[in-house]
Amino acid sequence: MIKRVPISALKVGMYITDLNNDWIPHNSQRKRGVIKKEETVEKIRRMGVQFVYIDASKGADTQDSETASDVDHRNESALQRAGEQTPGLRPHVPLAEEIVVAQKIHSQAQGLVGDFMNNVKMSAAIDITPIHQLADELQHSVFRNANALSCLGRIREKDNYLLEHSVNLSVLMSLFGNHRGLSEDVLHQTIVGALLHDLGKILTPDEILHKPGRLSPEEFEVMKLHAQHSRDILASTEGIGELTVITAAQHHERLDGTGYPEGLKGEEISEYGRMVAITDVYDAITADRVYHKGMTPTQGLKKLLEWSGDHLDPVLVRQFIRCIGLYPVGSMVLLESGRLGVVVETNEADQRLPAVRVMYHTKFRMPITVATIDLAKPGTQDRILRAVDPEEYRIDVRKFLV
């Protein structure tokens, strides 16, 4: 039986199934196996891990635990409560119309961020103007119909993670900032900070940055320096605002002080640093990487709730969930009719009734004609039963998002 145990109850002889530390960026630690020595427990404790998952049938057990199913049930209940309010922005233009514009912005964004990073690396002349213009265009697209860029954010290739993550993070920060009512200037600066938050990775050796296997403790320390490098580069770049620097510098800080580069705690971390930490973790854990398979959007939201308080701001986590919805764009859901569909548009009036693109019938175990169904449309009887993992049905959701 899989159980969650507090770090205080972890002991030699237990079989770990999940270190539950995906909130640690670039986490590539081995997650499974029997604990053979006390030093391993202490190493896990130093990571800042509060709870781990064990298989009690393969190793030692403890009464100080709860089943994984009970944890998931509690997280699901918390997710439903967090999503009781309506999500962020009401679309002003149809998705089919905005997706055309969003595709151009998304492609342009990856190119501009890549060029900017290369120019910094080559010590070439730096012109921040195109980045500012891009941030404005991105913000306007999100305002017109946030679902467009959100759809594109789910269509990603793991070999291009660095650039896609930077663009996706800026989209999430735009959504989050709009939802929280940030002023136009503050929102603009945080979007730029999100776009350039990983700029410091240009100084990370390629053999570490692109290593397909686990990083050694020494390599991980080198990787961690990128946040400090991002801060220093942006602080010395003309035309960069203070909040942009703060947003980029604090995206790996954690409430309990286990983050970096400063090891800030609680209110020492700015509001924008706590916001970008949430969006950064969410985008990272829901992305396919060389060393791990990404979680589904719903699984990712549950993990944000589980890590709230210790590592992530619990109030902001719940606001973020209200912002992107119970079933974020790209989620695969099972309908009462037995059909499977991918969420392509959230519903600002009722998070339980998004627009879904169906393509498969579970009762007949066969593909069906692809169609988009607005569950909120009068007369529509179908409803969502639950979110599901597309891996169970070997369906690539990316094929149905655009």
CA 118 remoteness from chain centre: 25
Any residues with CB less than 8 A from the CB of 395 and at least 6 apart, and which? 332, 340, 359, 360
Query: Residue 190 pLDDT more than 60?
Result: yes
DSSP bridge pairs for 348? none
Distance CA 110, CA 163 (A): 6
Q: Which of 22, 65, 63, 39 is nearest to 295 (CA)?
A: 22
Question: What is the residue-wise DSSP string for 224-281?
Answer: HHHHHHHHHHHHTSTT--HHHHHHHHTTT--TBS--SSS--BGGGS-HHHHHHHHHHH
Instruction: Give the model confidence (pLDDT) of 252-308 as tens digits.
Output: 999 999 899 999 999 999 999 999 999 999 999 998 876 678 899 999 999 999 999
Q: Is the pTM of this model over 0.75?
A: yes
Over pLDDT 70: what percentage of the chain?
96
Distance CA 105, CA 109 (A): 6
- The dihedral of CA 212, 213, 215, 216: what is its sign? negative
